[in-house]
Structure 1
Amino acid sequence: MSKLKAYLQLTRPANLVTALADILAGVAIAQFTYYSSYIAPGTLLLATLGLYGGGVVMNDVFDADLDAVERPERPIPSGRVSLQSATTMGLLLLVAGIIFAAAYGPLSAYIAALVALGALVYDKWAKHYTVFGPLLMGLCRGGNLLLGMSSVPQALYDWGYLALIPVAYIGAITLISQDEVHGGKRRTLYIAAALYLLVHVVQLVVAFMQGNGLLTVPLVAAHAWMVGRPLLNAINNPIGPNIGKAVKAGVISLIIMNAAWCMAFGNWHLALIVVVLLPISIKLARIFAVT
């Protein structure tokens, strides 16, 4: 059982749930209808599990030497999972993600392949750069939203630009996460706050354009509260533990941000399903590390 938990820990289960929320938000934005088929959400949800899981496993593979110093309790440096086993697992998950996406269609496979490539480039090189790292990680998350939109290919032309919003959001989280071990500067946290605000404003504008503004406001407000409190604490005292809590809140509250997208496009059924994912992610976050 402890061996299984070690392998699960590598995949960041709480984060995997947020990736599922990305796909459901993309499906809602695409206005996918379920009356004739359920294949899109099924295969694309499996695809994102492979892509996200593989990406975070490979992150730990490339960070094995650093984690041996800074986080020796993690599965690889602690010896609970060998480096070779973790590498095989990570690559197989990425390939599985592309295969599941291809089961829906070539466009979905193309997006999945780009996300997998982006994850590997980030894990190996980009994360060591202050700007390029957060940007690429944001692009991977934006690609995940596009993967959900690919359920209706035309939606990529109509609404594909909305993938820039998770780019900004995840970019903010990745930016501040660079200081979660040793502490950071308030300037970085203020930049993150500005990017969060941009996300909220765009979501509300789109929601009101779609005629669903009033229904979306509570979800946007809830998301602002979830990310705002720990971020404010980190701004007041930018030490490592506070920044870590801000990062954790930013990741988990992605679920509420995605629920807001569902509501903005009038799909309250999917919004409800996505909201239900939140307590699942929170529960998993108490068992497995998020960052």
Structure 2
Amino acid sequence: MSRSRAWAELLRLPALFTVPGDALSGAVVAGARPTPRTLLAIGSSLCLYEAGMALNDWADRAEDAEERPHRPLPSGRVHPAAAFTAACALTGTGLALAARAGRPALTIAAPLAATVWAYDLALKHTPFGPAAMATARALDLLLGAAATTGHTRAALPSAALLGTHTLAVTVVSRQETKGGSPLAPLAALTTTALLSRVLAHRPTGSQTDRPSGTGPGGARPEAAAHRPPAPLTATAAVATGRHRRPSPGQAWPTTWAWPPAHALTTALAATYAATAARPYFHATLNPSPPLTQRAVGGGIRATIPLQAALCARSGAGPTALFIAALAPLGRRFGRRVSIT
């Protein structure tokens, strides 16, 4: 049990619940329903994420010996060589799973793995550290899009939102052991408010604005030149049978997406704001190490409702609810093992 707990602390297992939503939201915002290739992308993401966790503690073992001697490596509960070996094995497994999902997925997973290793070994303590971490999260979302649809362009805006959130959390985390200026949590608090506003705003010209079966421009190709698209009401959806679930790889129908998805998106955006804003606010008032660590933990946990809101905003209500359900599981495991 002691050995298992040491590895759970090393790999920060509660943080794993923030990972599946990357690939799932990437698939959804790219305009597709999750497929078996999405599952391979999730597996790849989990492996690469945990590789980064193990490599992080291996690279910081000397620093942790002074600032956090209770961590698995400085306390002697996990040997440094074992942590480094685990990082290498997990990286190889993650790349193999991405390759199994197809060449587009591997094209994203390879730079993702490179970014993880570059962050832990070289960039973490430089001004480029937060940007590298944000890039890794954004690439993780794009991995889901690439594995599911073979392209990533439609997922770029959502990847930017997720990357911006990660950037704010990482900036705060740089002072979690010693405390510091209130500017970092204040900037993160402002970023959270702006992202919440963006999430709650109805996307113009998106899937939620057009009836199912139409093309990206909102109308069927043969009718695009003759008449503008009209949103499909819930009553008309039932009458025409358009409320049926899509087959794998197809976009979610808009019969569910609007207006119910707007209510769900707003609720998830509010949950995202509430999860991150309160600890950020406390850290702004008192940027001590304990409150800063809580702010970092809140920012990490807020990733889940953010991912869910991105899915709901694209009309994939069931996927959004599934991702949101991971949050209480993460909190439950977080009571036993620290998420930071």
Normalised TM-score (structure 2):
0.81
**1:147 partner amino acid:** L
In the TM superposition, what are the counterparts of 1:109-128 in structure 2 within 5 Å? 109-128=106-125
Q: Which amino acid aligns with 1:242?
A: L
Amino acid of the structure 1 residue aligned with 2:17? V
Matches within 5 A, 1:200-279: 200-205=196-201, 207=203, 210=206, 211=208, 212-279=261-328
Q: Distance in 1 between matches of 2:205 and 2:326?
A: 27
Residues 61 and 87 of structure 1 are in contact (CA less than 8 Å); yes or no, is this contact kept in structure 2? yes
Amino acid at match of 1:151: A
Deviations along 1:46-90, whole A, 9 cap, x unmatched? 111101000111000000001111111111111111010110001
Larger Rg: 2
* 8 Å CA contact retained: 2:51, 2:88: yes
Q: Which runs of structure 2 are paired with 1:148-187 in the superposition (5 Å)? A: 148-153=144-149, 155-187=151-183
Percent sequence identity over aligned pairs? 31
Quick one: which amino acid aligns to residue 295 of structure 2? A
How far apart are residue 201 of structure 1 and its match?
2.7
Q: CA deviation at 1:139?
A: 0.4
> Offset of 1:27 from its aligned partner?
1.8
Query: Which amino acid in structure 1 is aligned with residue 117 of structure 2?
Result: L
Paired position in structure 1 for 2:105: 108
Residues 27, 149 of structure 2: 8 Å contact kept:
no
Aligned-pair distance for 1:208? 5.9
Contact kept in structure 2, 1:208 and 1:214, CA below 8 Å? no
Partner of 1:286: 335
Query: Once structures 1 and 2 are overlaid, which stretch shifts more, 196-205 or 272-281?
Result: 196-205
List gaps (5 residues or longer) in structure 2: 209-260
**How many residue pairs were aligned?**
287
Which amino acid counterpart does residue 301 of structure 2 have in structure 1? I
Deviation at 1:198, TM superposition (A): 2.9
- Structure 1, unaligned stretches of length 5 or more? none
Task: Check the 8 A contact 1:14/1:288 in 2, yes or no.
Answer: yes
- For 1:199 and 1:127, the matched residues in 2 are separated by 25
Partner of 1:45: 42
Q: Quick check: 200-209 or 64-73, which moved more?
A: 200-209
Cα distance between partner residues in 1 of 2:86 and 2:153: 35
SS of the residue 2:177 aligns to: coil
Match of 1:78 in 2: 75
Q: How far did 1:268 drift?
A: 0.7
> Separation in 2 of the partners of 1:69 and 1:10?
17
Give the counterpart letter for 1:44 in structure 2. Answer: A
Give the stretch that moved more between structures: 207-216 or 19-28. Answer: 207-216
The 1:286–1:209 alpha-carbon spacing in structure 2 relative to 1, beyond 3 Å, is farther
Query: Equivalents in 1 of 2:107, 2:78: separation in Å?
Result: 31
Distance in 2 between the 1:9 and 1:96 partners? Answer: 21
Q: CA RMSD in A?
A: 1.6
Question: Cα offset for 1:23?
Answer: 1.4
* Residue in 2 that maps onto 1:198: 194
Higher mean C-alpha deviation, range 188-197 or range 232-241: 188-197
CA contact (8 A) 1:207 1:216 kept: no
Partner of 2:63: 66
1:228 deviates by 0.8
Structure 1-normalised TM-score?
A: 0.94
